[in-house]
Chains A and B, each alone.
Chain A
Amino acid sequence: MRASAHLQRWGITGRGLVVALPYLWLLLFFVIPFVIVLKISFSDIDLAIPPYKPLIEWIGKNSLAIKVDFNNYAFLFTDSLYIHAFLNSIKVAFISTLLCLIIGYPVAYGIARSAPKTRNLLLLLVVLPFWTSLLLRVYAWIGLLKANGVINNVLTWLGVIHEPLNMLYTPFAMYVGIVYSYLPFLILPLYANLEKMDWELLEAAEDLGCRPWQAFYKITLPLSRNGMLAGSMLVFIPAVGEFVIPALLGGPNALMIGRVLWDEFFSNRAWPVASAVAILLLILLVPFMMWYQSVQARESAGAR
């Protein structure tokens, strides 16, 4: 009793602590690293460890110099490589999201309309791939797609093709990898949305003269809009910065911003430029994240 009273005088309560914990977590593992990256993006490259010059320096005895360098950002706009990589990343993420939507919608719809007993099993199957490491699963695609891989072998054996198809290290392989990896992120929120839908609305629509496909188009589709948006954002946002999948499956000319970042950071040791790329990527994605947040808020508010 006495101890808690003591704590309370300092404004520390149990509830306060519970609320403070996630903020503390975010401060430690998100805000501070972000500030460090931001700081590096404004500094000069240097052959040292770490490979950049400090922002704040003592010159002489009593003067402090703050040197903010915008060149790293300016550089990103002078070399077309970066703009190209940004645009390409957005294109790849957009197409991947679209493909996920086309494949994921029927799956989510099917699960939502299945019998409650089989529903849990189907959901489990969607989540099942997460039980293995992403890296392993992407590697497995190499085995499937390569010249003497499973797909080519089966097709040759069936006599469909006589020469192996060149699939690995093409945009096709990259899209396969991205769509495969991110599909569950689209299916799950969309399923959660569709599952809440009142199917009697479809009967009402049919009663009022809609054929089943018209009822789907006029009722189901607009009502699942928030689910589609939420799922799409969960695919699009990480897909823009995706590095592993294009690197493993996409081949040398899959120029994506994640790849550029990696190269700048590890190959060129150009930490300031890499940081600038990272910050710019973040700025690019913030509107999408805010959109996603507002969609989520609307969804949970129930007003559609």
Chain B
Amino acid sequence: MANSGEAAKSAQWRDPTARAYVQIERVTKSFGDFKAVDDVSLKIYQGEIFCLLGASGCGKTTLLRMLGGFETPSSGRILIDGEDMTGVPPYERPVNMMFQSYALFPHMNVEQNVAFGLKQDRVPKAEIAERVATMLELVKLGGFAKRKPHQLSGGQKQRVALARSLVKRPKLLLLDEPLGALDKKLREHTQFELISLQDKLGVTFLVVTHDQEEAMTLASRIGVMDHGEIVQAGTPSEIYEFPSSKFVADFVGSVNIFEGKLIEDEPEHVRIGSDELGATIYVSHGISAAPEAIVWAAVRPEKIFMSTAPPGGTDNVVRGAVQDIAYLGDLSIYLVKLPTGKVVRVTQPNTSRHAEAITWDQQVYLSWDASSPVVVTR
């Protein structure tokens, strides 16, 4: 995972003395009875790429627009570099936004688009020319200065929009689904370009996306949003490996969730009896939950082993029949139906070209390490 360099390495969010660059304090935005953003508090540090990840309608775009000044919070406040942004209009904020539609001015060429913000600030002409040229070189559009937006490809437009929003050297750059309109190959390529550009310029990025892969690749930290709230914030691996709720586990990547009851609760391990699984789940770490509470064990598909011979031990082992196989080249996805009716998703890398293939309707054993399940209580 190629996370943004400096910020990820220094991990300022773990340092309680570090100063937050962007501070969102108990911000709520209501439209009538509907709370688009519900009491969100968040600290973003200088040089970070912070991704707000969530499904459409979760409030992530509203939060972004409040940072840009296009919406005013119903309550709470936003500070950028220590300055209260309440009542500051978009044109006076040290923030720039890259719009999802790019919003390039169709009557201006690439150069004029990029220069627009600087002209507005009455930067001297010579300096404008120099900064625009540098920025266009940086996004590899040096030869396209005189083109009109409608003469550009999607990827080129995206880079013009990026150049235009970066040329004013904002303290915070807001990116609304920056790669949403690009096709898959280009998107992957652009993700890495975006990271290296951010590394070079050191601008703090706040990215809104519904694409978890995009968030995982770009972000130093991810904030997962649902129903106007940030349900979990953390590094991509924290979010993936230690989801705090069923929702996060399910939203980020694919996961098998087994409902069960806590039958053994020790500081060093827990045992969960799951009717859904038809077996007990042994987890090699303690959790904090009431005894006999209903909990959920989440196991990632790639952490499940599949074999035709019974593995050793009795915990974390179930038997089932292969119901479906999807061959993806690098790996295969197996859907295994348990006697209880529950279908478990298993992914296996195709390490050998001539492996003895597991086929449809075959009886298999599924097992996983005691450290693999994540137990969540909500």
Q: Using a CB-CB cutoff of 8 Å, which residues 144-176 of chain B contact chain A?
A: 148, 150, 164-165, 168
5 CB contacts below 8 A, A to B, read A198-B101, A200-B101, A203-B103, A208-B116, A209-B117
Select the stretch in B36-44, B89-97, B263-271 that faces chain A.
B89-97
Contact: B97 with A210, CB < 8 Å?
no
Complex interface: chain A residues within 8 A of B356 (CB):
none
Contact: B68 with A207, CB < 8 Å?
yes
Complex interface: chain B residues within 8 A of A222 (CB):
107
Q: Which residues of B contact A (CB under 8 A)?
A: 68-70, 89-91, 95-97, 99, 101, 103-107, 116-117, 120-121, 148, 150, 164-165, 168
Q: Is A206 an interface residue (CB 8 A)?
A: yes
Given contacts A200-B101, A223-B107, contact A206 B117 (CB under 8 A): no
Contact: B107 with A303, CB < 8 Å?
no
Contact: A205 with B89, CB < 8 Å?
no
Complex interface: chain A residues within 8 A of B89 (CB):
206, 211
Q: Using a CB-CB cutoff of 8 Å, which residues 264-304 of chain A contact chain B?
A: 302-304
Contact: B116 with A205, CB < 8 Å?
yes
User: Smallest CB–CB gap between A279 and chain B, Å?
Assistant: 39
Q: Is A4 an interface residue (CB 8 A)?
A: no
Complex interface: chain A residues within 8 A of B150 (CB):
302-303
Given contacts A198-B103, A304-B106, contact A208 B70 (CB under 8 A): no
Complex interface: chain B residues within 8 A of A208 (CB):
91, 96, 116-117, 120, 164-165, 168
Complex interface: chain B residues within 8 A of A219 (CB):
105
Taking each of B89, B97, B120, which has the highest tally of chain A beta carbons within 10 Å of its own beta carbon? B120
Q: CB-nearest residue of chain A relative to B161? A: A204
Given contacts A206-B91, A208-B164, contact A201 B120 (CB under 8 A): no
1/0 contact string of A212-236 vs chain B (CB within 8 Å) = 0010000100110000000000000
Q: A198-B101, A219-B105 are in contact. List 17 more A-B contacts (CB 8 A).
A: A200-B103, A201-B103, A201-B105, A201-B106, A203-B90, A204-B97, A204-B105, A206-B69, A207-B90, A208-B117, A208-B164, A211-B89, A214-B120, A222-B107, A223-B106, A303-B150, A304-B106
Q: CB-nearest residue of chain A relative to B106? A: A304
Contact: A210 with B91, CB < 8 Å?
yes
- Give CA–CA (A280, B70) in the complex, Å: 55
Q: CB-nearest residue of chain A relative to B96? A: A207
User: Smallest CB–CB gap between B88 and chain A, Å?
Assistant: 12
Taking each of A208, A209, A304, which has the highest tally of chain B beta carbons within 10 Å of its own beta carbon? A208
User: Smallest CB–CB gap between A261 and chain B, Å?
Assistant: 41
- Give CA–CA (A208, B132) in the complex, Å: 14
Contact: B168 with A209, CB < 8 Å?
yes
Q: Using a CB-CB cutoff of 8 Å, which residues 12-63 of chain A contact chain B?
A: none
